[in-house]
Amino acid sequence: MQSPVYKRVVLKVSGESLSGNNGYGIDSAMISSIAEQVKEVVEMNVEVAIVCGGGNIWRGIAGSEKGIDRATADYMGMLATVMNSLALQDALEQIEVPTRVQTSIAMQQIAEPYIRRRAIRHLEKGRVVIFAAGTGNPFFSTDTTAALRAAEIEAEVILMAKNKVDGVYSADPFKDASAEKYETLTYMEVLNRNLGVMDSTASSLCMDNNIPLVVFNITEKGNIKRVVLGEKIGTIVMKESVG
């Protein structure tokens, strides 16, 4: 039996991934599939933390473009990530995966506050920890949250789950048939080529803390396990190029 190449990971799940083919809201079949994939790696004794996006419900930038104060719109987006996190927690616990949601904004009736040492203790006990409500501050994305939490809990890698996209391309593969898929990239290449893998704040944070990033398609069942086992799927982004 293959052994995982990572002991502790942060899984970044976009809001779009949770909506499945609907484009909006939470798709129960998709969230169940993600939960089953997470269970596979937890059973391999891999410690899993998750950061959920909220774009399937609300986007702060889109709200601000409609005239809503940007900070207010971002706080609304943080609440959307909490909804997604609770839904994923429920899906995980229905298949007997112990899970804790920790929020950056206090809401003690439904989740724990984010406390780094407590989060690490949960992970050490085999529980999945879902980090909700972003960083707790407006003007920061959930990509930045994933980078920040990965650095704080000393995760070995960020697994960036994409909806129907199997890596990083030179252009949108759905619009440009000549788009080239990259197997490896450096964070400087991501920033210089403006590839849009993560926002610049998140990319810089990962680069400065030497946290690798694997971008892969989560809609294909078993892909989280494949990444954790070290299979060459998707695109890996590192501080420095190999060789």
Name the binding residues for UMP.
54, 74, 135-142
The sign one gets for the Cα dihedral 147, 153, 157, 161 is negative
The alpha carbons of the chain give a radius of gyration, in whole angstroms, of 17
Binding positions for ATP: 12-15, 55, 59, 163, 169, 172
Q: Do 123 and 149 form a contact (C-beta atoms < 8 A)?
A: no
Strands 181-182 and 168-169: antiparallel
Q: Per DSSP, what are the bridge partners of residue 132?
A: 103
Q: Do 41 and 228 form a contact (C-beta atoms < 8 A)?
A: yes
**Residue 197 token pair:** 């893998």
Binding positions: 12-15, 54-55, 59, 74, 135-142, 163, 169, 172
In angstroms, rounded to a whole number, what is the distance separating the alpha carbons of residues 72 and 109?
Answer: 22
Q: H or E element: which one contains 169?
A: strand 168-169
Q: Do 25 and 83 form a contact (C-beta atoms < 8 A)?
A: no
